[in-house]
Structure 1
Amino acid sequence: MPSVLLVSSNGAGMGHLTRLLAYARRMPEGTRRHVLSLSQAVPVVGQEGISWEYLPSQGASGLRAASWRQLFAERVGEVLDRLDPDVLVFDGTHPYSGLDVALAAHPRTRAVWSRRGMWKQDRNEPQLEKAAWFDAVLEPGDLSAAADRGATAAVADGEVARVAPVTLVDPGDLQDRAAARQALGLPGDGPLALVSLGAGNINSTDDEVGAAAVALRERGIGVCVTAPDIADRAYTGDVHLVRHFPLSEHFAAFDYAVAAAGYNSFHESLRLGLPTLFVPNTRTSLDDQGARAEHAAHAGWAMSTPTLTGGLAGPLVDELVRRGSELAARARDADPGNGAAAAAAHILDVAGGAP
């Protein structure tokens, strides 16, 4: 069976690592898989029965850029020496200098660049030249691809293998409502909403998280958050800390979601039928969450707003309660299916070309 080394960059969340696990889950039994990740969340890989190791990012290491690049090249080279994989898969939008050095020193190992689209316009274009480091480029699709104005959208189909949007979890993997709530330690009765907007202050309506929480609680909807510091600041009402990976397996526990529009959270919410109000994070350096969320709203799959502050949260939550189920049903009808299996097959096809 082939051997695969999965390398994830250090993004703002767990998107890169989760996408690699989506591929790994759909590889045939017996495929040797190993993860090398710059994400401090990498221990979750062990839950999948996959071996892993951690490589600190430049920021976590405290090293200067040049020193870290040398460390990165040496560490990747050591892993390639030790494992001799048929294929290396790097998921990220910025292949690190040093990866090319390590790959050039190990010509038997093929390489695939897994690269999502929806880059902000006129951003990151020089990175496309790094496709030359790889034997293939794989692009997990985006339900909002029609609104993509970034550099990757202009790349010809013959230069990249495009698959349907990728999620770790499929609709058939969802636990039912009662089991999901029990697994997360949530009340069995009453409506609940998942608020996934990153860091915030739940006690201030001048903050996106706080505005969402207040509006939901005023309408008798319990608030569920994933950040312990947010839950610890709660002083009234139903605020629950939910911790599980992958949380999307338990989406049936929630009646609604108020979420940012990063690749994973966006596609999980739409594909898994969770009525969602997106509040895109427009401060990202590259990911065009605004365009992604606006397209979903125009398509009638979800709601989108640039902010919940200034008194907007209440009416928007009312609309989510009123229209959420209808929007979620439209999103499910538009779902082209999960591209993870096709991506895994493509990766193994590339691996098959290793001498």
Structure 2
Amino acid sequence: MKILHYTQYVFGIGHLFRSMAIDRALAPLTVDLVTGGADVPIPMPDNVRHHAMPAIRMDENYGSVLAVDGELENTWREREAMLLDLFRDLEPDVLLIEMFPFGRRVFARELLPLLECNRRRPRPAAVLCSVRDILVEKKDQAKFEKRVLGWLNPWFDGVLVHSDPDLIRLDLTFSRVADIACPVWYTGYVAEGPTLPDRAAAREALGLPPDGTIILASAGSGTIIRDLLDPIMEAAILLGDRLPHKLIMFTGPNAPLEERRRLEDRSRAHPDATVQEFTPRFPDHVLACDLSVSRGGYNTTMNLLACGARGLMHPYGHDREQRMRLEALETLGHIGLLEDRDLEPSRLADVMEQALREQRGPLGRLRLQGDNESADIIRRLAAARP
């Protein structure tokens, strides 16, 4: 079975990590993963052949896309040719497309020719859309949903929704689910867990002290960090006077070097703080910590739940996605929602201390095996392909 998986990330890197988790679950099958975002320094799963197209990213105002290197029109042409050549050479049984057509509208330029090429084959690949639980709001929702259905229904054989329908259903942010012609499968959340069995093992493997309190701070890809990591650093400095702890802060691979260096300089006021760019072992760090304070992106949130860790999360304010998910999950008891007012350092220090001292109950029932459930559906669909 040959699988071609397309994923495009333009701002954060959560889409890439979610795609990699699904591909890893498909082992021992080989997956050809095509990516179109800026390079991220992480190892690919052993069963993945990675094909990096010339990178495109979103500008800081979400207004347009930019080529990471070179001229945009040339980048588009190179990508379109590369994608079609790879598809023709591979002749996949399954074409898995992340987010589109529920998002990534601008990438229809390269994806619609790919779908047309597939349709012309004597034996077309089964085409699946892989989409998260919550869609970003649109100015004209009716127009958006009509466009999605216009691309989805003629070209796709199924939709994988990476959510637990008992918590969040796709129709919460897409009202015309009933008009989708192909099957819609809820896979559960794609939640990458730790590689180690427990906190003691995680601390030993990561070279962390076996005893004492550890606070983990992170801001996802690091594209925007100052509004969150600065208050966390100041709060941790204040908290250190009354609750000794070790602070481990990850700025993210997209954080500007000067921002990381500025936080490193400020960390010298803390008795035991480290500031690092990135770790491919983030879930193991989550398992090792007593409290995680972070942005509320899909992947970080699911890492937290998969590890059974306590977390405080501040939703990114540009759209509704993170807030909607965190408000739904807050009822489970492991996640505390940080409002903007909570980021005042002395207030944040109090919130962090309270979270560390509270007793944590068991995690409510939630489907967190979305990678494995997605892989099972892909295998079944490929096996049933005419």
What range is the shorter-chain TM-score in?
Answer: 0.7 to 0.9
Question: Could you list the per-position Cα deviations for residues 10-50 of structure 1 after superposition, in whole angstroms to 9, with x for gaps in the alignment?
Answer: 14332112212222222252x12121112334553435342
1:122/1:205 Cα in 2 relative to 1: closer, same or farther (>3 Å)? closer
Aligned to 1:83: 90
Cα separation, 1, equivalents of 2:384 and 2:214: 49
Residue number in structure 2 paired with 1:44:
42
Distance 1:263 1:103, change over 3 A: same
TM-score (norm 1): 0.84
Residue 239 of structure 1 corresponds to: 273
For the 8 Å contact 1:256–1:275, the answer to whether it is kept is yes
1:94 aligns with 104
From the superposition, tell whether residues 148 and 305 of structure 1 become closer, same or farther in structure 2 (CA, over 3 Å).
farther
Moved more, 136-145 or 269-278: 136-145
For 1:86, the aligned partner's letter is D
Q: Which deviations, in whole Å up to 9, do the C-alpha atoms of 1:262-288 show, x marking residues without a partner?
A: 11111221232110011111125xx61
Find the aligned partners of 2:215 and 2:323 in 1 and give their Cα distance. Answer: 22
Would the alpha carbon gap of residues 214 and 294 (structure 1) be closer, same or farther in structure 2, given more than 3 Å must change? farther
Q: How does 1:96-111 map to 2 (within 5 A)?
A: 96-97=107-108, 98-107=110-119, 108-111=124-127
Listed one character per residue, the Cα deviations across residues 168-193 of structure 1 (whole Å, up to 9, x for unaligned) are 33x6x434334423433433432111
1:255 alignment partner AA: D
Deviation at 1:91, TM superposition (A): 1.5
The answer to whether the 8 Å contact 2:200/2:288 transfers is: yes
2:71 alignment counterpart:
63
* Alignment correspondent of 1:177: 199
Q: How does 1:168-247 map to 2 (within 5 A)?
A: 168-169=192-193, 173-197=195-219, 198=222, 199-201=224-226, 207-218=230-241, 219-227=243-251, 229=260, 232-233=264-265, 234-237=267-270, 238-241=272-275, 243-247=278-282
Equivalent in the alignment of 1:344: 375
Q: 1:289 to 1:240 in 2, by over 3 A?
A: same
2:191 maps to amino acid: T
* Deviation for aligned residue 1:4: 0.9
Q: Secondary structure at the match of 2:350?
A: helix
Structure 2 CA distance for aligned equivalents of residues 175 and 78 of structure 1? 43
Note the 1:111-126 alignment, pairs <5 A: 111-122=127-138, 125-126=144-145
C-alpha displacement at 1:90, in angstroms? Answer: 1.6
Q: Distance in 2 between matches of 1:342 and 1:292?
A: 21
Overall identity of the aligned pairs, in %: 22
CA distance in 1, matches of 2:228, 2:132: 34
Contact 1:118-1:150 within 8 A present in 2 as well: yes
Structure 2 counterpart of 1:119, one-letter code = L
What is the TM-score normalised by the length of structure 2? 0.78
Aligned to 2:5: 6
**Which amino acid in structure 2 is aligned with residue 38 of structure 1?**
G
Q: Is the 8 A contact 1:118 1:145 kept in 2?
A: no
Unmatched 5+ stretches in structure 1: none
Write the letter of the residue equivalent to 1:76.
L
Consecutive unaligned residues of structure 2, counting only runs of 5 or more, are 57-65, 252-256
> Which residue of the partner structure matches residue 279 of structure 1?
314
Structure-1 separation of matches of 2:369 and 2:380: 19
Give deviations 1:43-82, integer Å, cap 9, x for gaps: 5343534221211333314433x55444332221011122
Separation of aligned partners in 1, 2:190 and 2:229: 34
1:116 shift after superposition:
0.8
Q: Please say if 1:316 is aligned against 2:351.
A: yes
Q: Work out whether residues 130 and 162 of structure 2, in 8 Å CA contact, stay in contact via their aligned partners in 1.
A: yes
**Aligned counterpart in structure 1 of residue 191 of structure 2, from 154, 167, 171:** 167
8 Å CA contact 2:213–2:244 kept in 1: the answer is: yes
For residue 221 of structure 1, what is the amino acid of its counterpart?
H
Q: Distance in 1 between matches of 2:82 and 2:200?
A: 45
CA gap of 1:217–1:89, structure 2 versus 1, over 3 A, is farther
Alignment match, 2:15: 16
Q: CA deviation at 1:212?
A: 4.2
